[in-house]
Amino acid sequence: MVALGKTYAVLGGGGSFGLHCAKYLLDHADPYRVVAIGRDPPKPECFTLNVGKGDPRYEYRAFHVYYEQDLLLDYLDRTRAQIVINFAAQSEGAASWRHSWRYFETNAVALAKLAEELKKRDYLERFIHIGTSEVYGSVDRAATEDDPVRPSSPYAASKAAFDLHLISVHRFGGFPMNILRPCNVYGPGQQLQRLIPRAIVCGLTHRKLPLHGGGRAEKSYIHVRDLARAILMVADGGPMGTVYNVGTRETVAVRRVAELCAEALGIPFDQLCEVTGERFGQDYRSWIDSSAIYRDLRWQPEIGWDDGLGEMVAWGRRYLDDLRAIPLDFQMRG
């Protein structure tokens, strides 16, 4: 049974995954309130997708999780959010070799301070942290939640650090938490440095998508609504303290993902892509075993490539005038 009338706070709520999670909660959780908290003022409509517009149950506020944590906590104390869902992160793994300390500043230090403060709040029922499958590094079989972490980048190391902290404060301090480690997630409104939205915008604007190392690396992908559904399932009845992988059963080569994007766009693969050098620190295979969340909650991905990429193309075409003016490369922010 879905819990009724709760207040949900979505940290990192200005990003596409946080926004889709907020929308899914509004549509399916029967919430009292959903508050999305991001680092910046709201982005243009091509990224916000008008999530929550006109819905009195929804509010967006801008607080920086590191530099304005006192203001963030004051706001959470006013809203008394029972469920806090954390997407907030510095999250570009390939860029984390430069200014790597910024990744630990946000992904480990700021969140450890936040968890310590939230543990004092009597209104908190559950803290759900969105981690990453990248903590397992390159693997030759599907990694389970019990496998050791072997991060291959400063980004993944910073995410693993907070995961391990959360596990310890739950085990020895009773902090009410869950960790979800999704594979690669995609969906409309995603930042353009990511493979799939970049491929869509490149295809629609007649630019070339750089295919690092020819796209030999293998990964798995889920649609953002499948992740949002997993989050609500865990919020509603997941065993406290459990870590869950959230992904598909099989991996797919990055080249094949680019081919699927070209097919969805109706253009030849060679028109979309150009092969470039291998990305430094690239995991040759990122693969997770998600049987635990299926066993406990019966979650499995439902949105296939045809529907998911169809949504991406429709999004790209609808907002093309705005998207063509937005830089495709990652830009570091504090």
Instruction: Give tens-digit pLDDT for 125-175.
Output: 999 999 999 999 999 999 999 999 999 999 999 999 999 999 999 999 999
Q: Can you spell out the DSSP letters for 73-103?
A: HHHHHHHT-SEEEE------GGGTTSSHHHH
Which amino acid, residue 91? Answer: S
Which amino acid, residue 64? Answer: H
| 316, 310 Cβ separation under 8 angstroms | no
Those residues whose C-beta lies under 8 Å from the C-beta of residue 52, and which sit 6 or more positions away, are 22, 23, 26, 34, 36, 58, 59, 60
| pLDDT, tens digit (0-9, with 9 covering 90-100), for 244-287 | 999 999 999 999 999 999 999 999 999 999 988 776 566 778 99
Domain locations in the chain as residue ranges: 7-186+224-246
DSSP-based three-state secondary structure for 215: helix
Selection from 103, 122, 99 nearest residue 111 by Cα: 103
| pLDDT, tens digit (0-9, with 9 covering 90-100), for 52-111 | 999 999 999 999 999 999 999 999 999 999 999 999 998 765 677 888 999 999 999 999
DSSP-based three-state secondary structure for 253: strand
The tokens of 105 are what?
């500043």
DSSP 8-state symbol, 143: B
DSSP-based three-state secondary structure for 20: helix
The pLDDT, as a whole number, for residue 96 is: 79
The pLDDT, as a whole number, for residue 328 is: 78
| 320, 205 Cβ separation under 8 angstroms | yes
| pLDDT, tens digit (0-9, with 9 covering 90-100), for 25-62 | 999 999 999 999 999 999 999 999 999 999 999 999 99
H or E element that contains 65: none
CA 303 to chain centroid, in Å, comes to 16
| pTM of structure | 0.94
H or E element that contains 18: helix 16-28
CA 140 to chain centroid, in Å, comes to 24
Strands 209-212 and 58-62 turn out to be unpaired
DSSP-based three-state secondary structure for 288: strand
Q: What is the CATH number of domain 7-186+224-246?
A: 3.40.50.720
